Each structure stands twice: as C-alpha cells, then as structure tokens.
Chain A
Amino acid sequence: MRNNRPALFALATLVLLGGGVALALFWVPDDADQGFSQRIFYIHVPIALTAYACFGWGAWKALRLLWLRDERYDLESYTAVHIGLIFGVLTLVTGSIWARASWGVWWTWSSRQLVMFLVLFLFYAAYFMLRYSVEPGRRRANISAVYALFGIVLVPISFLAIRLSSDLIHPVVLKSSGPDMAGSMFLVFCICLAGMLALAATMYNVELTGKRLDGHLRELREALA
C-alpha cells in the first residue's frame, strides 16, 4: 500500500474532501452577511488555490526538464498543467455560480479571481493548442516547458495588472469572504483545501500512470511487430 501512490492519495481525498464537504454543508455556521450561499466558498477557493498549485507544479517539472535536460519530466509537466486547467475551469464555473448567488449576475469583471482565472484559462488553453501543433519530441518538450514557465510568471503579473485595472475601470470593488472569519469556518476551509489538493494529487498520479502505460505499450507493440 505504501508504494501505491494513487491509492494513498485517493484515501486521503476520501477522508479530507469527503469530511470537509460534509462539514461545509452541515456543520459550519451560516455566514452573517451572505447566508447559506456563502458555503460555495468552501469549495470555490480551495479549487482556485489547487489550480495555482497544479500550474506551479507543472512549472517546477518544466524547470527540471530544462535544467536537467531530461525529457522524462515532459509527461509530468504536461499532466500537471492538464489537471490545473481542469481545476481552472471548475474555478470559473463555481465562481460564476457564486457570483449569481451573491450578486445576481453570472459574470462580473469586478471579481478579481474570476478575471484572473479567465486570463489563465486563455493562457493554458493556448498551451494545449501549442502542444498539439508541434511534432512530439525534444523540441515540443522544450517549448512546452518554456511556455509553462511563462505561465507561472504570468500569475503574479496578471494579479498586479488586474488589481491596477480594477482601480481604473471598475471603482466598485466587491469584497468576498476574507481571512477574517470564525475559527470553525477557517478549520473547515483548511480541511477542504487539503482535500482538494489530495484530489488533484490523486488525479495527477492516475493520469500520469495511464500516460506512462500508453508509452510503454507503444514501445512493446513496436518491439513485437
């Protein structure tokens, strides 16, 4: 069991995310201002933070690829970015639902997080378009890695840009739940965050294993042809 990474992470996910969601839905008290709908926060923000973590992990693997010139890291970087994009889209969807619940609109440019993830979505969607349009090999691995590094640098730069632009264009800043919340709320938030990270780790390991199997099978098929 100790060597079976996907199983370990799946178990962690079950406990942390399962427990966290149950607590978020049934145990934690209502938010004073926003009421019951504030509970979306317990999955929306962890999903967003997990997406950042995935993009960061992908960038780290990309750096290893370029630094050590080891093509093995390409699959790991690519898988991390893929999972990151899934979580990014989930951030946009849950964020949109929360915007609808809180402010009555499906989209608002005033939500810095929504705008940030829209920009990141555009960036990482282009990552896949780039990958599919280059022949597999060392060149594609290098280009993907460089692009993944650009992505992680874009995160703080975009954050600054969006902050600057919101001062300029949208003077009304809508505040979402900050760290100033009751102790029990913070605890549940942390459990959900850990659960989401465990979920991402599970998906990452499963997907990576699948891709590696694909690669090995291809080699075997060529050897036996």
Chain B
Amino acid sequence: MAIKERMSGNEAVSYAIRQVNPDVMPAFPITPSTEIPQMVSTYIANGEMDTEFIPVESEHSSMSAAIGAEAAGARSLTATSSAGLALMWEELLLAASNRLPLVLTLVNRTLSGPININCDHSDGMGARDTGWIQIYAENNQEAYDNFIQAYPIAEDTRVHLPVMICQDGFITSHAVENIELLEDDKVKNFVGEYEPEEFLLNPGKPIAVGPYSVSNYAMEAKKNQEIAMENSKEVILEIAKKFKDMAGREYGLFEEYKTQDADYIMLIMGSAAGTAKQAVDELREQGKKVGVLKLRVFRPFPAKEIAEALKNCKAAAIMDRCESYNGNGGPLGSEVTAGLFYHKVNIEAVNYIYGLAGRDFTISDVNSVFAELEDMVVNGKEVEQHKYIRLR
C-alpha cells in the first residue's frame, strides 16, 4: 500500500536514505543539496537511523572519506552540488577505478562562473568521464525511486561501480510535490544487506586498494572498468524490473513518451522533461505528431537504444542543459549524434542549449522548438545545429 505524501526532492531523497540506512555518510554542505545532510543528521539525532555521519571540512574530504569507508567494507554515501562535485574530481576517478560501489546524491547546480546557485547540468556533465553511473530524475518521485535502486545496481558483482543519483537543483530539490513512498521494510528488503566479497578490514584476506599499477597492467584495469560500465546497462534494467514488481513504477534507460508515431522528438533530461510532456499533450490535441524521449540513464550512455528509438522520426531536438565550450555543441548533442551516425540513422537533428544557470524553460519554449523542427523539415528552413533558446 503506497504511502501518499508531499515532499520536496531533497526531503524525498533524505527519506530514502533513512530507509536504506547506509553505514557511513561523510558530507560537506553546499546549496542546493545542503538540506540532505541536514535532514539525515536530524534522522540520526532522533534515533531513526544509525548511519555514521562524518562532518568534514570540504568535498575533497567527503569523497575521500566515503572512498575510505567503502573500501573498508561499509556501504557509503555522500551528497553535493556544483563546485562541491568539482572539488571531488580526483576522488571521483578513484572511486570508480577502485570499483567502489558508493552512492552520491547530486543536486544539479551550475558551475562557476558567473557564480550562480541555480540549476543546470554542468556539474554532472563535468563528471561524465569519471567512470560513475549517472541516473537523472524528472521529479521528486523519480529521485526517491532512483536512490532506492542505486545500491543494488552499484553493488552487483557484474558492475561494482559508484552511482550518482541526480536531480535538478531548486526545480525539484526545493519544490514540494505529491509523492508515493514505500514502506521501510519493503525498501530494506529491496536493497538488502551489503556483503562485499573483498574489503580492506578483512582479517585473513588482505587486499590493497589503489596501489601503483605498471603499464603492463594498468590498461587492462581500465578496460575492465569499461566492461563493468557496459555490463551495468543490463543490471540497471534488471533492477528496474524488480523495482516495478515491488513498487509498480516502471523505469528504463529512458522513457519514450508518445514517440511511436512521432515525426518530431525532443530528447531531454531532468525536470524539463515534465514540461515537455505537458507541451506534447497540448500539441497532440492540435494534431501535431510529436513526442519526448526522456533520458534517465546518462552513464552508461545508451547510444544504440536511442538511435533505435529515434530512427523513424523526421527530426530530433537534442536538449542540453549544459554548454561544453567545445565550439560544437553540448554533451548530449555530441553523444546522441555520434550514436545516430554509428547506427546508420540519418535524421535531422538540432542541438539546443537551454536552462543554463537557472534560466527558465517553459511550455512555449517546447512549442517553439517543435515549430522550428517542422519548419526545417517541411519548408527547408536553415537552422543552426547548435543554438541557444531563450537567450536575451
């Protein structure tokens, strides 16, 4: 029986953390994720969970401490945003390459500069090649559900990689919305106890974590890490299936919303996907064949599956809430178009940059994007392949 509640995204993730009750949580506060360690601390102070909370002096230390705890065999967690994630950069790579299945709950916020506290995906995208699995949420419900699935994915022996559970700063982290929660025992059973096969504090079976590797071995270690990322795709789908059996809510690598017969598809990630779906419903009433592909799993990147999902449309809008500063497009623009090429899908595509540093994204923005795609296909309008919307 689902528990009907109303919560902000930060409250929802904190509630899930209480239910999972990991062993160790080092954290350092940064807007807009600060509420998560704050709420978890309150749960601990009230005796509602017994996670060891470690207040540290920086995010460099919070990720280092989480790595140490995880290597010692403790299920570990931290939370951060923006510059906090940037300060963890070296440790993010260590967590992944040492194959430590810890979880980071990221509340997406832009990176400086200009300094700004609002949402875009530049922090998460900045960490896109650090070897972490990354799962993005549309709303508080998905942030909650994704967090519950995080450890079962990370700890699977085919994976053994850290997982980043991402949600949009303020837009979902600070918005109170309806949510359906699961009972504590259901969540605990789903996530299970953590029983690492190998760990540092294991008398009689010593291991080294993070030793020097000579060139004769290091490349194989890196390839193994890549294989784990490839494996994680099927594990993510298996866990999603188990989650559906338990909770009734369905998840995949991405959600296809009214795309089956769509001429024009918007590929988008995070909270803006909800706005896009609402716009699609209204455009469908006017007879427009439009749909939304909402990317949930950004790492591993489901290039082949996306190409398959887009192959029958006439044009796709690839929406990036992040600029790559490469003179060529955003991260999704680059990776989606590469995927289309490799899988021989020859459709029109435009890479739109939207919502940087909290710039709003509305139904009328979605409408104008679909109108432009149609104008391009039907009337041959020339459209830049890398363009900004709502830019003043």
Q: Do A and B come from one complex?
A: no
